[in-house]
Structure 1
Amino acid sequence: MSPPLPPLQPITSRHITTLPELFLTALSICCFLFPSKSCPFPFPSRPRRFLKISTMSLPPHILKTHHSHSFTTPQSLSEWLKPRLSSDSFASWGVKPGTKNVHNLWLELAEGETSIDDSIPPVRTVQVVTVRVIDKHNRVLIETRQELSDGSSRDRNRPLSEKMKPDETPESAVYRAVREELGQIIKGSVGDSENEGAVRIVPGSYQKKVEERNSASYPGLPACYVLHSVDAVVEGLPEGEFCTEEEEYRDCEENWRAMAGEAVSVKKHYWEWVSADSIKS
């Protein structure tokens, strides 16, 4: 006589394999049998995100973009830029009057004044301090044009402006900008201390805004300018038009001097007083 059959057990949820579980099991087997790109059901990948890394936080001898490209020389920067920019635009750098060359951009990166995004085209980001120098006649000092080292000149028609240094505050940048571009003609002195010299920042005049436009210095390269502007009174300036001279890149690192010699530099600044009412905000 056959032994009795065991009693039937009720079916519970733990005995049931759901369709999603079956699918995931099959998917795992497929990816095991067909690894890497040959997997017929690849898992969706997350979109790639690029974090903006400012060159201000990097060692000066290694300059990086989002993908850690190293620009150890202007040549390496040039090779990186060529496939990312219009060939006609890039070829005009340092050739078209009023433009700068790749040595200038390399120095900006090396000194931490500029960061550049790994995109097509790349985007250059610059922190700029703008000083609206005002006088007792309600006039604003405007830089009308610059004379460059290659013999060309370029129109400016804007207040005193200067690229900011790494970790520099807008207030410190104001004193440095006045000292470097106007200091030689001021009858008084512009001291290194923020509380000394002939410069007085007008309280409550600070403003910050962001502008995006194509760079005039580097045709074809879009730029994002973070503008920090203040009004200031500078004692000892001439009443009429005047000119100042500048030795640009004089304070750059010694091992970058040869690169500075290849860059297009500003030799002279031409200044004029205009009515404050004629200046666009």
Structure 2
Amino acid sequence: MSKTPESLNNAQNNTKSSLGPAKPITTLPDLFLTAVSLLFLFSSPKPNHTLFRKFLPFPPNARRFPKMTTTSQSRASFATPQALSDWLKPRLSSDSLESWGVKPGTKNLHNLWLELSEGETSLVDSSPPLRTVNVVTVRILGKGNLVLVESRQELSDGSFRDRFRPLSEKMKPHETTEEAVTRAVKEELGSSRVVRIVPGSYRKKLEERNSVSYPGLPARYVLHSVEAWVEGLPEEDFVTEEKEEYEDVDGTRRLEKAVSVRKHYWKWVCSDSLCS
């Protein structure tokens, strides 16, 4: 029995349905277009990220600001006392500067220049400048609960200034407290005496006040305090003479115009209310 054309078409359609949907055949033009598209994609320039950076709320690497430092002046900044004077004039009132060495008990510009040259003092660049000094103070113990204080000083210009404080001395650069104590006792109490520092008596304190030596110039004192026993001291009030504070190797004064301490007046006083 022969099949009709209609039955043959139905049979072919059933066969295609059982095999699933027909897959498209890739032709040569399609392959060419795909290759061109890929080539264009990989050869295109990279996007400009700088266009997006300006929209960021903060930069990706935040800037670190350097720490503020305090400018100080030293010997290298002032070759002469006149250079120091020129630096001070716009930063200090003229009345204050003119009183140095004129008002009784004060020191003069040459003294400050020598302190800077010796490294005993530093100046902070401000208006007015701030003078910073490291000072060793020695509370010398005596018999019967007494302590030794310097009641006053006689200066080279003939003036006096009241002190009423323990032995005190400006410290040299890189000097330890023990070294400063030994030097202070030798310079102000005379000769080389045996000094015994009381263990555990060291104290450090910071004080800021107007300078008596240089009116109008505020000062910051870093006080290094100890208690000590010093052998061979008189039991009554006494006076000592100090050699020139600033001298050259040959023994001559480094600067004649500087005011120096000539004599120290010492007095034993009660250390507390237990002393009768």
Report TM bin, short chain: 0.7 to 0.9
Residue 273 (structure 1) aligned to one of 234, 243, 268: 268
The structure with more radius of gyration: 2
Task: Give the corresponding residue for 2:21.
Answer: none
**Distance across 2 between alignment mates of 1:227 and 1:174:** 12
Given that 1:180 and 1:246 are in contact with CA atoms closer than 8 Å, whether structure 2 keeps it comes out as: yes
What is the TM-score with the length of structure 2 in the denominator?
0.74
Moved more, 235-244 or 247-256: 247-256
Provide the aligned length of Structure 1 versus Structure 2: 230
Alignment map for 1:95-106 (pairs within 5 Å): 95-106=102-113
The amino acid that maps onto 2:199 is P
**Distance across 1 between alignment mates of 2:205 and 2:251:** 35
Distance verdict in 2 for CA 1:120–1:240, change over 3 Å: same
**Distance across 1 between alignment mates of 2:188 and 2:82:** 30
Task: Give the corresponding residue for 1:36.
Answer: none
Given that 2:134 and 2:222 are in contact with CA atoms closer than 8 Å, whether structure 1 keeps it comes out as: yes
Q: CA deviation at 1:21?
A: 2.3
Task: Give the corresponding residue for 1:87.
Answer: 94
Given that 1:145 and 1:156 are in contact with CA atoms closer than 8 Å, whether structure 2 keeps it comes out as: yes
Task: Give the corresponding residue for 1:201.
Answer: 197
Is the aligned partner of 1:21 residue 2:63? no
Given that 1:111 and 1:252 are in contact with CA atoms closer than 8 Å, whether structure 2 keeps it comes out as: no
**Distance across 2 between alignment mates of 1:128 and 1:91:** 26
Given that 1:129 and 1:161 are in contact with CA atoms closer than 8 Å, whether structure 2 keeps it comes out as: yes
Q: CA deviation at 1:50?
A: 3.0
Task: Give the corresponding residue for 1:59.
Answer: none
Percent of matched pairs sharing the same residue: 64
Task: Give the corresponding residue for 2:82.
Answer: 75
Q: CA deviation at 1:53?
A: 5.5
Q: CA RMSD in A?
A: 3.0
Task: Give the corresponding residue for 1:49.
Answer: 68
**Distance across 1 between alignment mates of 2:125 and 2:94:** 18
Task: Give the corresponding residue for 1:178.
Answer: 185
Which ranges of structure 1 fall in alignment gaps of 5 or more residues? 1-5, 24-43, 56-62, 65-69, 185-189, 191-196
**Distance across 2 between alignment mates of 1:118 and 1:175:** 33
Question: What are the Cα deviations for residues 73-92 of structure 1, in whole angstroms up to 9, with x where unaligned?
Answer: 11110110111011111110
Q: CA deviation at 1:49?
A: 2.9
What is the TM-score with the length of structure 1 in the denominator?
0.73
Task: Give the corresponding residue for 1:131.
Answer: 138
Q: CA deviation at 1:253?
A: 5.8
**Distance across 1 between alignment mates of 2:71 and 2:239:** 39
Task: Look up the SS of the partner of 2:54 in the other structure.
Answer: helix
